[in-house]
Structure 1
Amino acid sequence: MAEKKIMLGNEAIARGAYEAGVKVSAAYPGTPSTEISENIVKYKEIYAEWSPNEKVAMEVAIGASISGVRAMASMKHVGVNVASDPLFTVSYIGANGGLVLVAADDPGLYSSQNEQDTRCVARAALVPVLEPSDSQEAKDFVKFAFEISEQYDTPVIVRTTTRLSHSQSPVILEERIEVEDKPYERNIRKNVMMPGNAIGRHIHVENRMNQLEVDGCTFPINKVEYNDTKIGFITAGIEYHYIKEVCPDASVLKLGIVNPLPRKLIEEFASKVDTLYIFEELEPVIEEQVKSWGIKAIGKEIFTRQGEYSANLLRKAVLKQDLDLTPQAQVPARPPILCPGCPHRSVFSVLKKLKIHAAGDIGCYTLGAVAPLDVIDTTVCMGASISTLHGMEKAKGKEYIKNWVAVIGDSTFMHTGINSLMNMVYNNGTGTVVILDNSITAMTGHQDNASTGKTLQGEVANAIDIATLCKAINIKNVIEIDAFDLVGLERILKEEVAKDEISVIITKSPCVLIKGIKFPNVCKPISGKCKKCGMCLKPGCPALTKNEDGTIAIDEMMCNGCGLCKQLCKFDAIDCIERGKN
């Protein structure tokens, strides 16, 4: 009897790659896709790596595919933007060994800066897209994607969402298929995309997509359920389960392939139902194409383009149920905050004291935009902080940015920040860049990166030294400092922002949640000395609260003994002692 296991969607995707005979996997961590690679690395038959960014990850997978093996790249939806350059071109090149990109979208913006729909990117790139609805399908669709990739000479996108990636359902496990490596054959017309060759390959791509539109009608990943034909739904992905919960008697066409759409299958289904609804999160990708064929359907007129769908949304829109969605218990709002002992809090405290604005980036440090720190003024995308600062300087001049810095993390600097810094150097820019080096890719769950000295497998690697790298691109002012050295950091910031040169300040202190990091000390208030001034509360450390009399209380279980509050107290009313001692 086949083994069955409860799996996260991401875990099932990793299992699908293993069973499909994948040999190379590359990714950059990003919620909600991160756990794919963290599970793939458990299968020793697959070479798996954290690449410095998604473009590189895509190119690694492309190289492996060209050489003749099955390869996969994984990333979140905004990572697809970074990888779009090679993605759009490999659509023309196609695949030798199967080539699959797993793209995890984030309807509802649980951990992202936008709510884009990867299906729109795929339509522009002329790449087929499969969309599973549960963990079993996540595994099976990955395997099927590799078959399609090799049969139709194409990269294939498997699209997931946060709900699918992080929900669990049963999965039947199967054995790995050891796929024989395909021979590499030198083919300049196919693999070298200069204009003359690309013209011919574009014709191939159009023919391929036309064929997939026809063949997709018989793909086993599509599911047609004829029940009560008064109401019919066309849907894909996790939304299928909401329909089955709310309208179990309705007829449903659940699409497994969502680009290109299987036209004849859709037309046949639409002809057999009285009222047709198209139920899809985010953009009306299916709806617009179906309506363009002259098929009457109801979609975004009643379903929103924003956020994550739910069973209650369906009840309200289709069944017209007047639902009381007010929570029974009023839970106090908990704004996102930096952890107790986070080195970013220390740096931001100094920036706020000096009234310095910060162009921000993607990472935990984005939380510096909210109260009580309030120092991050901009956040666009990975690596944008440095370029944003440079743009300000070129627009308004050197004096304008002398109360500005760019802040960026170590992993994000490796991702795309280094390109922005090179641009500052090349174009004779000025400005101060603060690299918040906490020795890990913290926000997505502590993945290693090019500067940490470890690979995805945990093996010792050549660590890129950030300071040496900055000096190598001809930056003269490169300073490393402990993130908790408030006096030194204040002095250095004042000195460097005043210069008409590029300065890089690297604040070094590990993330407090890194496994193995020990905190021998704990901060304790001395109530008799407390003047109730509140200076220690300004950085917003969650370990500190006020007593009823206005003095300070410190939660020993939360405190990591970083000493920031002690440094801020002018009355020596906080002590740092060895944990466990009075």
Structure 2
Amino acid sequence: MVAKLADRMLLSGDEAVALAAFNAGVLLGTGYPGTPSTEILEAFAALGGKAQWAPNEKVALEVGIGVAFAGGRSLVTMKHVGVNVAADALFTAAYTGVTGGLVLVSADDPGMASSQNEQDNRHYARAAGLLMLEPADSQQAYDFAAAAFALSEQFRQPVLLRMTTRTCHSKSIVTQTALPGPAQAPSFERNIPARVMIPAYARPAHHALRDKLARAAAYAENCAQTIVEPRSKALGIIASGVAAMHAREVAPEASLLQLGFSYPLPMQAIRDFVASVERCVVIEEGDRILVTELRAEGLAVEGKPERFRFGELNADRVRRILEHDDSPEAKIPGGKPPALCEGCSHRPVFEALNRLDCIVSGDIGCYSLGVLPPFTAMDTLVCMGASIGVGLGMRHVLPPEQAKRVVSVIGDSTFVHSGLTGLAEMVYNPPPTGHVVLIVDNGTTAMTGQQEHPGTGRTLLHDATGRLLFEDIARAMGIADVITVDPMASDVVLDDVLRQALDSGRLVVIVARRPCILAAPKIRQYERAAAEKRIGIAVRVDG
């Protein structure tokens, strides 16, 4: 089935993946919003595909695995650090394999435009034993995503589609083509040895996995994603992902081997290519993975200097690598630092934390900006949900006069994502001085573009659904002191609530609830629509 769109379109890589998923008959797209992956599911839903936000990436992947076990095609999306959350399920899914096509998009963020690290998720393919494709532009994002579903079914394995910020967000022409759908409709077939990973079944599954990878390596030698462009014999470049585009721009005369099928590697094709040129340079963004593997195979290839391991590559940096140019790079002019919006409900929270000289264990979200002036009111930030565990750790060992000042600050979407287990830890192993968790609830996943989450009571398409109430959850988990406050009501109210909680020596959860100032008009619109729908249903029932 082809979406009713023009044959040729200007699309971002994210939009191209969404279009391929729709045309390839994906039955469910699921994920957790995170830049630069967020727009994939939003675009898929806009096309008419069934898409949903999961509480976190692990749950998203587990749902996707379930779809694939049932014979359906599923698309799971997340940013690079989200794969860390999903890794437990991912590694085992490599052993169980799948029936329907399962594609996991890992959207990496070299240069950390909106992330806490710039990890290179090509490592995951090697560590878990999964096929990996890497598109370089939007057309390849469409073509490779389609190929990924077919390869997943052919090898009965999940496939990683690794993209980076540039391939996700840059736009280029995409020619839409009809894509083959799944070979069969969803249907459950019992296969206990393949899907129940107790040791007795996991041992042979590991052998089967290595056999699949060997067959995939043989397939990669001549597949459409292994792209050889023979030109000059003086210089050859091996690249994957967006690095191939930079290489084409900087050295159009050079021979190029683009490893679109980047794991397992087509080693014979690589050997033939290296042998065909006088000088061979590996251009790769992120860690020096390819050059290390090729040198381990005894191939005479050059890599990049250590300094180009950091940040994104661009045409100038690739030119420097090829020319051995060690001169200092021009400094990028500093832009305006990010800041909380004027009127943001997080502002009075950090002002109060600052006034009370709190030790703040922070978390991931737009409220992370509380670390910057004029607030400077965040002392730690590790990963999603870490605020509670880190805060508890400090409470356990700091001198009492310092321990009593520790507050864990976490957002509403982040709390659902991975704060629940931290709350369980707080109840199970309470510090002697108690602890205070402050949930800053602005009614949306603000930093990634105002997406919904289970605490809003609305689906990805903003329709009404079940809603998690944080106060009820906290009380159900055994916390007696649960307080709800409007952080914009007055500075005095928030200061008093925080001071009393810190002085109590008890376990306290404070929910500071006020809609995001940017999302509030939309939230009111969604709520009106839901109310009108309820009234319409009531009228039909009464009639």
Question: Which TM-score band (shorter chain)?
Answer: over 0.9
* Greater helix share, structure number: 2
Question: 8 Å contact 1:227–1:249 — kept in the other structure?
Answer: yes
How far apart, in 2, do the equivalents of 1:240 and 1:13 lie? 19
1:8 paired residue number: 12
Structure 2: gaps (5+ residues)? 525-543
Find out whether 1:448 has 2:452 as its counterpart: yes
2:93 paired residue number: 90
SS of residue matched to 2:218: helix
SS of residue matched to 1:498: helix
1:351 paired residue number: 353
2:512 paired residue number: 507
Matches within 5 A, 1:403-482: 403-429=405-431, 430-482=434-486
Question: 8 Å contact 2:14–2:37 — kept in the other structure?
Answer: yes
- Structure 1, 317-326 or 491-500: larger mean CA deviation: 317-326
How far apart, in 1, do the equivalents of 2:255 and 2:181 lie? 39
1:67 positional shift = 0.7
Question: 8 Å contact 1:261–1:286 — kept in the other structure?
Answer: no
How far apart, in 2, do the equivalents of 1:62 and 1:324 lie? 48
Residue deviations 1:59-118, cap 9 Å, x none? 000000001101111000000000000000000001110111000000000000011011
Cα RMSD after superposing both structures: 1.8
Question: 8 Å contact 2:111–2:310 — kept in the other structure?
Answer: yes
How far apart, in 1, do the equivalents of 2:317 and 2:334 lie? 25
Matches within 5 A, 1:92-241: 92-175=95-178, 177-179=180-182, 180-241=184-245
1:489 paired residue number: 494
SS of residue matched to 1:183: coil
Matches within 5 A, 1:538-553: none
| From 27, 31, 36, the counterpart of 1:27 | 31
How far apart, in 1, do the equivalents of 2:137 and 2:445 lie? 28
CA pair 176-248 structure 1, distance change in 2 beyond 3 A: closer
Report the AA paired with residue 512 of structure 1: I
1:274 paired residue number: 278
| From 50, 60, 65, the counterpart of 1:62 | 65
Find out whether 1:74 has 2:81 as its counterpart: no
How far apart, in 1, do the equivalents of 2:523 and 2:163 lie? 37
SS of residue matched to 1:377: coil
Question: 8 Å contact 2:70–2:100 — kept in the other structure?
Answer: yes
If the length of structure 1 is used for normalisation, what is the TM-score? 0.86
Structure 1: gaps (5+ residues)? 520-582
Question: 8 Å contact 2:397–2:403 — kept in the other structure?
Answer: no
Report the AA paired with residue 364 of structure 1: C
Question: 8 Å contact 1:18–1:176 — kept in the other structure?
Answer: no
Report the AA paired with residue 77 of structure 2: S
Report the AA paired with residue 139 of structure 1: Y
How far apart, in 2, do the equivalents of 1:479 and 1:332 lie? 41
How far apart, in 1, do the equivalents of 2:493 and 2:256 lie? 65
1:324 positional shift = 8.8
How far apart, in 2, do the equivalents of 1:200 and 1:60 lie? 25
Identity among equivalent pairs (%): 41
How far apart, in 2, do the equivalents of 1:425 and 1:398 lie? 19
Question: 8 Å contact 1:108–1:306 — kept in the other structure?
Answer: yes
1:305 paired residue number: 309
Residue deviations 1:466-505, cap 9 Å, x none? 1111111010110000011211110111110112221011
Find out whether 1:254 has 2:258 as its counterpart: yes
How far apart, in 1, do the equivalents of 2:388 and 2:519 lie? 27
Question: 8 Å contact 2:98–2:152 — kept in the other structure?
Answer: yes
How far apart, in 1, do the equivalents of 2:11 and 2:206 lie? 39
CA pair 515-170 structure 1, distance change in 2 beyond 3 A: farther
How far apart, in 2, do the equivalents of 1:374 and 1:240 lie? 41
1:325 positional shift = 6.0
How far apart, in 1, do the equivalents of 2:327 and 2:143 lie? 36
1:49 paired residue number: 52
1:288 positional shift = 1.0
CA pair 204-36 structure 1, distance change in 2 beyond 3 A: same
1:191 positional shift = 0.5
How far apart, in 2, do the equivalents of 1:343 and 1:415 lie? 21
How far apart, in 2, do the equivalents of 1:415 and 1:124 lie? 25
Residue deviations 1:106-160, cap 9 Å, x none? 0000000011011112210001110000001101101100111111110000000
Report the AA paired with residue 113 of structure 2: Y
- Structure 1, 484-493 or 190-199: larger mean CA deviation: 484-493
How far apart, in 2, do the equivalents of 1:84 and 1:132 lie? 22
1:403 positional shift = 1.1
Question: 8 Å contact 1:133–1:238 — kept in the other structure?
Answer: yes
Question: 8 Å contact 2:146–2:179 — kept in the other structure?
Answer: no
Report the AA paired with residue 424 of structure 1: M
1:382 paired residue number: 384
Find out whether 1:288 has 2:292 as its counterpart: yes
Q: If you compute each CA radius of gyration, which structure gives the higher value, 1 or 2?
A: 1
Question: 8 Å contact 2:407–2:437 — kept in the other structure?
Answer: yes
1:321 positional shift = 6.0
Report the AA paired with residue 134 of structure 2: E
1:394 positional shift = 2.0
If the length of structure 2 is used for normalisation, what is the TM-score? 0.92
| From 324, 337, 340, the counterpart of 1:338 | 340
Question: 8 Å contact 1:385–1:408 — kept in the other structure?
Answer: yes
- Equivalent residues, number: 516
Report the AA paired with residue 493 of structure 2: G
Report the AA paired with residue 203 of structure 2: I
1:398 positional shift = 5.0
Report the AA paired with residue 352 of structure 1: N
Question: 8 Å contact 2:396–2:403 — kept in the other structure?
Answer: no
CA pair 221-374 structure 1, distance change in 2 beyond 3 A: same
SS of residue matched to 1:459: coil
1:301 positional shift = 3.5
Report the AA paired with residue 405 of structure 2: N
Report the AA paired with residue 460 of structure 2: L
